[in-house]
């Protein structure tokens, strides 16, 4: 005889619970979406840092200004926090003349330096993780520094009119090399 009182009360409690849960979930979602850029700011409590975001890597020195600007942009684009974090670098048509200092980025795997004014590749000879290097359209003279790289799979040296062709024999047969026209005979 009093069962209708319990049923109605439990129904009201369920409706109120669902409404409260919905409001809480909505509020939480809205507040978290406002904090999506939190990784860019310091968070303090009573003037003490509780959280400080990582700072992009900037402790590098390269001699060529054009290369430096390209590296700086890649660090921003890929959000690189250490020298080892930079694995891909595309500096095509940037006016680069020297690679001096690039070897500090030892974890580079893919390097595109097409259409620059690069002559000397000695700096790349110590970069053991390089897999794909594109140096087409440069002034490379000697390819031998690249021959000792253990992981190199693809190397583009086409459109390098000053390249000494005899150095190409030093490469493993497994390396896919694109060579300049004057070396194809």
Q: Retrieve residue 94's tokens.
A: 């940037």
* Residues whose CB falls within 8 Å of the CB of residue 137, separated by 6 or more in sequence, listed in order: 114, 115, 116, 158, 159, 160
How far CA 78 is from CA of 88, 96, 102, in Å, comes to 9, 21, 17
pLDDT in tens, 141-170: 999 999 999 999 999 999 999 999 999 999
**Per-residue DSSP letter, 171:** S
How far CA 10 is from CA of 7, 13, 116, 125, in Å, comes to 5, 5, 76, 76
pLDDT in tens, 20-44: 667 766 665 665 555 555 566 667 6
Q: Retrieve residue 103's tokens.
A: 């070897």
CATH architecture of 65-183: Alpha-Beta Horseshoe (3.80)
pLDDT in tens, 52-89: 678 889 999 999 999 999 999 999 999 999 999 999 99
CA 82 to chain centre: 11
Per-residue pLDDT averaged across 103-130, rounded? 97
pTM reported for the whole predicted model: 0.74
- Distance CA(143)–CA(39), nearest Å, equals 44
């Amino acid at each position: 005889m009093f069962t209708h009182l319990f049923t109605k009360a439990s129904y009201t409690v369920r409706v109120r619970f669902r409404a409260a849960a919905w409001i809480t979930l909505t509020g939480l979602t809205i507040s978290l979406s406002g904090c999506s850029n939190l990784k860019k700011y310091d968070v303090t409590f009573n003037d003490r840092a509780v959280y400080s975001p990582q700072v992009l890597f900037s402790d590098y020195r390269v001699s060529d200004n054009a290369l430096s600007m390209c590296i700086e942009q890649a660090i921003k684009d890929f959000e690189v926090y250490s020298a080892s974090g930079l694995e891909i670098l595309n500096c095509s048509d940037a006016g680069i003349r020297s690679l001096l200092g690039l070897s500090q980025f030892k974890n580079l795997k893919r390097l595109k330096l097409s259409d620059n004014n690069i002559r000397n590749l000695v700096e790349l000879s110590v970069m053991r993780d390089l897999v794909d290097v594109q140096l087409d359209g440069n002034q490379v003279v000697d390819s031998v520094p690249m021959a000792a790289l253990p992981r190199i799979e693809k190397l583009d040296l086409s459109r390098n009119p000053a390249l000494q062709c005899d150095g190409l024999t030093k490469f493993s047969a497994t390396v896919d090399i694109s060579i300049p026209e004057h070396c194809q005979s």
